[in-house]
Structure 1
Amino acid sequence: MIDVKINHDYFLDDGTTKFDDLLEDQKNVRLANYNISDNLTITPVLKTQSDLRNHKIVFRQTNRGFLLFANVDEYTRANDSAQVFCSKIQPTKDLMLTFKLRFKDTYFRNYTNNTDSEENRFFYFSNVRPDGENNSLSIFFKNTKVHTRFLLQPETSRSIMHEILINEIAPIDPLGLENIVLINPEDINEPQNVELLNEYIETQKLDGLIGYFRFAIDGRGNNDILVDTTVEIANGPNETLLGLPDEVPGPTLRFENRKTFWRYIDINEDEAFTTKQEQPLTQNGFVELRPNDLDPRLKDVFLLNPGKENIRIEEDNMYSEIFI
């Protein structure tokens, strides 16, 4: 039904060489040791958990991302006699499947490029662009795209969060949502409601929220999860059912690794040497620095690459600190 892959540059790149530029055998080695579920969790929200059960759709998190399997019946397509598969339990076209994306690695924000400077915004990976967002917000469906292209505006973040809470969570478990449930959609921009929703989003992000994957059965055109398919029915007239498309959607989300200034601190001389340019943080490979790459110039010292732990923010710049 859909196969979502999540790549992260920090784990897959080799120093300054991007994963896509590696040789195939090098890529296979990287992927053999790659398990994004060690760092991220993808969880169906309460209503989606129920919808998956009721429609016999299986959700499975994998080393690369997650899969959705639909229970299907086999048919013959009416117009060309091709073999097609249609959902055994037919959903309505307004069905929306929502999955919460969280990080569980304490240092995730340290090594991930983060354009999310405002705490009341989150990322939205969907086959439908929400109202209020222009074309700068990408549609998540078929191709590999960088995560920073899916950042909602604050106003849309509040609207989407409110919609998910009142329609997909509160009807099943309203605990802690009593005040948010009372907000009418037309009053969502009232100052007190803006403050309430911002506080809720900030609290969720402190608990690791990155954003939501959200898939509509009807993707408003070429982004449908299931498509109208006219099939032959034995001993009866042809029937139009929702079936799997000829090509199962297999989008890839790529998280960019963060670049920081690298600061080498000589603890004996109480002196610091900082790279003149930001360098990428990666788990694999080695970024070689020359003496002239640092200010002041530093030579005759083997310069290790920094890990993900020691990050310092100063005047909107980020520094990775290494003690020598």
Structure 2
Amino acid sequence: MESQSSNSSVVGVYDSSLSAGLDIAQYYLSNSVKGSTKQQYDRIYDIWRNFCRENDVEEFGGDHKPLVACLSFVMMQSGSYAKVEMLRAAIAHEYRIRMLSSPTTHETISVLFRGFKNAHPHERQARLPITEEILIKMCAQLYQPIHGRDGLLASVVLWRTIWRICLEYHTLGRFSDIVKLKRQDVIYESSPSPHLKIIFKGGKNDQYSEGSERVVAAHPDSQSCPVKLTINYFQFLGPSYVGYLVPSCTPQNKPNPEKAVPYSGALSDLKKLLTSLGYDSSLYGEHSGKRGGATSAAANGATDKQLKRLGGWRSDSMPAKYVDLSVPSRILLSELLHKKSHP
């Protein structure tokens, strides 16, 4: 009864008029997509806004023809199906917030996109996986003498990038899950053997209703030991740090505990690091860390069921999509078979 009374008083604070209700609804509708998706929508929506302004077209009109023209121009100029798909989604979202019927649902738009695919066939190239060799080179970059003992004088950008990729590799975690981690979500435990206990909260990895807990074992003989790396990273951040573990930077180039780095910034940091290590950064992407971990686990005997459980995938076929089957990877698998047949 007490809670009901409390809830009633909270509801009573709001104006119960239709207009107030619609304003509240608009707020919730605007939050129907994640913050990272909003940022992508905001960037690409300017294309539609500018097109309407330049052609004296109503931005939120009901006619589908201006949208057909805009999307066609973007497709012809960029050749990117993903870009026009993102633009269509961003426009639909803006209409949805305003509770308007969107021209993106018109039958002509669906047919148009079919034409885009037929006229611009493109097979998406899978990104290469991060390998153990790359992780070792990254850690060597971090622990070079100029960065002091245990890399404690290195930059925030270098630390957050290497730690994030290492964690993606060893947990098969998604960027969106790892970027949400805060200090209290990563726990070091020494028993029964040194390891990290990591809690992903509210992500797609929690398919088994376990709170998506990951355990990462120490590898003392490895130069890229994830447990040692994490302990050193926590020393770098300081004992009182409680914020995001993949933080953005303050104007003073210090970690900002209140704000995680955006996806675009994290991907740019990774590509710059790979380039500095002598790799073609265009061949690597968001899932390269996770892809590398799955490939390594499969090469060392992990079954599809084990990969599915570790990665938190719902589909039985999904783990296989993350295992790299490029020529170098297949050669490695073949060599493992050869070693087993010749002890």
Task: Please indicate the TM-score interval, normalised by the length of the shorter structure.
Answer: under 0.3
Normalized per residue, the structure richer in strand is 1
Q: Larger relative contact order (C-alpha < 8 A, sep ≥ 6)?
A: 1
User: TM-score with structure 2 length normalisation?
Assistant: 0.22
Normalized per residue, the structure richer in helix is 2
